[in-house]
Amino acid sequence: MPTIEDVARAAGVSLSTVSYALSGKRRISEATRLRVERAARELGYRPHAGARALASSRSDVIALAVPFRPGLDVQIVMQFVAGVVAAARTHGRDVLLLTADDPEEVARVAASSTADAVVVMDVASDDARLPALRALPVPSVLIGVPDDTRGLSCVDLDFTAAGRLAVSTLAEAGHTTIALVSASATRLAEGANYAVRMRAGALAGAAAHGVELLQVPSEPTFAGGAAAVQEAFARGPRPTALVVHNEAALGGVVSALERLGLRVPADVSVVAVAPSEIAAALPIRLTTVEVPGQRIGRIAVEMAMQRMGGDDTAETRLVAPALLDPEVSVARCAAQPA
Amino acid sequence: MPTIEDVARAAGVSLSTVSYALSGKRRISEATRLRVERAARELGYRPHAGARALASSRSDVIALAVPFRPGLDVQIVMQFVAGVVAAARTHGRDVLLLTADDPEEVARVAASSTADAVVVMDVASDDARLPALRALPVPSVLIGVPDDTRGLSCVDLDFTAAGRLAVSTLAEAGHTTIALVSASATRLAEGANYAVRMRAGALAGAAAHGVELLQVPSEPTFAGGAAAVQEAFARGPRPTALVVHNEAALGGVVSALERLGLRVPADVSVVAVAPSEIAAALPIRLTTVEVPGQRIGRIAVEMAMQRMGGDDTAETRLVAPALLDPEVSVARCAAQPA
DNA sequence: GTGAAAGCGCTAACAT
DNA sequence: ATGTTAGCGCTTTCAC
């Protein structure tokens, strides 16, 4: 592999001129710059990443801690990852892939100057990794919002607003009994903050409109979704609309509704809270509060870049939810108020 | 951040002794080693990755080119990734995440010594990236088997054997008309080698048993799967069994069978070719020829390690398929031969 | 506008 | 069993 010295020799300039010509950090005459660029191109020169990192104390690498534990929704994880990778590339950064389980890993890549920022996915309300993240020698950005965000940069969908939006949309269409098919009771108890915030928003929306919200936790499986529908319609007041915030259960919910002979939206209105790709893979189209995974991934990188740039202010950014296809699976409530 | 010099001073030894004590590349007396380890621990010393890469000309990073294009099955992609990351960690390697679309990216990380091996996913029969991969200054391992494997290390499920296994299983249960719900016609034409090899194996199996194989390409969607079932039962001879090699269509296939009032396996036998996680997410359990994504990812890393170790022999490893739950959705054929 | 040279923090060959 | 030292290939200050 050619080094910067080879390029310098070929271009007939000094070593530092090559460096400056290529980085643009110093005024270089047009003529020399062209000669240098040409020599570099012809030799197929690529700066040695390690040497550069050593000299500049920057690796130009962003570490990304991705959860691999089973039961997690893979689709949305991939959305985040895709967003992070794309945004990192536009900033000339590479992405180092870490498993999210081990906080030690994040500490290692940060302390060894392997990465100069970290993005951590799947952060829980009371995440065990928080102290470690605060102690990091490099900036970190969390996807997900813990209870205590002091000193931490966080980004996520505004799930509270998403819950409110979903319920409001239905309430404004005249529905007065709405079921929320949410994450499993286990996940809720674990403090999966998106589920908790979503529920809070849905409850707030219900209260604001004076409608009833039935809470139906569901396992993240096809069978779980089907069971949740059974439960929603078996209990007390019969819902005329469903909000489903459980990607993996969505297929089961739709299937169970069909089996019960309930047409969407003629008999039941449905609002899904999910990445648009998942909603698109269902047998029927659904009105969707989008979880914009890619966008959040991008923002995470932007925030990391900003903090690498020396901006110390940790901030929490909540992305406003958007309602997709408001008409397709929401209809005015047919049932008369009792 | 403390450097190796700080550790040396704290332990009262020379700089190189620290290096050797920590790497184990030289005999060091028990006593000194302990002192060094203690000093390193107390200072929180981590070798600077760039400095190490520069001095040793090894980055200890494996680049992984992951396809992000839509329509790809995310589940299986994540399986591969998880396998690669886990295996890399057990070898003390980090994983750099690249998007698979751009061969230039792979060349960049290889030439800049950012990574000292690359694993490339989603390789097609006549992949455009092949020449670039052959020219790489570092070893590469492909997941997927192109037509011309000269000089390349490849690993994948033995899809030919998988196709044969699926068909044989059904033929041996007495089925004489079997439909293969495969990848879309487009994918097949593009040379998605797994689909092509799977079909060849299925055809071979059918020929060997003297049974008929109906080919039904399907779009990778719920609707596509449902449509494929319609088509399979509309055309000429009625199949009594289905082989489904199309993860995303699987849900639609199962749903359509149910809608037609066909019980599995009483009325139709079904064998899925899919990652076990996907099969597990379906409303009913299915006999499955497993696509062992994690395992293949692991093997890819092992092969890369071997070639980094100086072993020049490019080899192609085809993982033998395994049949999961042979009973659950395969029954003896009820239909009498005409 | 360009060059010379001093590191960056390690590894490994060459000492003893 | 340990120490000394010459790089590895860059970036960046200092000098002109």
Task: Quote the percentage of chain A above a pLDDT of 70.
Answer: 99
- Burial code of A73-95, b = ≥16 C-beta within 10 A, e = fewer? bbbbbbbbbbbbbbbbbeeebbb
Average pLDDT, chain A: 94
| B63 — pLDDT class (breaks 50, 70, 90) | very high
Number of other residues whose CB lies within 10 A of the CB of residue B150: 8
* CA dihedral over A249, A74, A277, A297, signed as positive or negative: positive
Average pLDDT over residues A189-218: 93
**pLDDT of the residue at A335:** 61
**Any alpha helices (H) in A173-268, and if so which ranges?**
185-190, 193-209, 222-234, 250-259
**Is B234 near strand D, with its CB below 7 A from some atom of it?**
no
Reply yes or no on whether the pLDDT at A44 is more than 90. yes
| A230 — pLDDT class (breaks 50, 70, 90) | very high
Reply yes or no on whether the pLDDT at B336 is more than 70. no
Interface check for A109 against chain B (CB to CB < 8 A): the answer is: yes
Of B89, B98, B282, the CB nearest to A222: B282
Beta carbons of B161 and B320 less than 8 angstroms apart: yes
Of A59, A85, A108, the CB nearest to B97: A85
Average pLDDT, chain B: 94
Which positions of chain C lie under 7 Å from any protein Cβ? Answer: 1-5, 7-13
**In B, which residues are within 8 Å of A85 by CB distance?**
68, 97-99
Sorted by sequence, the CB contacts under 8 Å of residue A95 that are 6+ apart come out as: A61, A62, A63, A64, A84, A85, A88, B96, B97
Q: What is the reported pTM?
A: 0.94
**pLDDT of the residue at B338:** 42
Task: For chain B, state the CA radius of gyration.
Answer: 25
Q: Provide, in whole angstroms, the distance separating residue B46's CA from nucleotide D7's C1'.
A: 22
Chain A, residues 182-221, CB within 8 A of chain B, namely 221
Beta carbons of B81 and B134 less than 8 angstroms apart: no
**Is A15 near strand D, with its CB below 7 A from some atom of it?**
yes
Which range among A149-158, A276-285, B59-68 shows the weakest confidence by mean pLDDT? A276-285
Separation of alpha carbons B233 and B268, rounded Å? 11
Average pLDDT over residues B269-280: 91
| B101 — pLDDT class (breaks 50, 70, 90) | confident
Q: Provide, in whole angstroms, the distance separating residue B107's CA from nucleotide D8's C1'.
A: 21
Reply yes or no on whether the pLDDT at A190 is more than 90. no
Q: Which residue is nearest to nucleotide D2 (CA to C1')?
A: B17
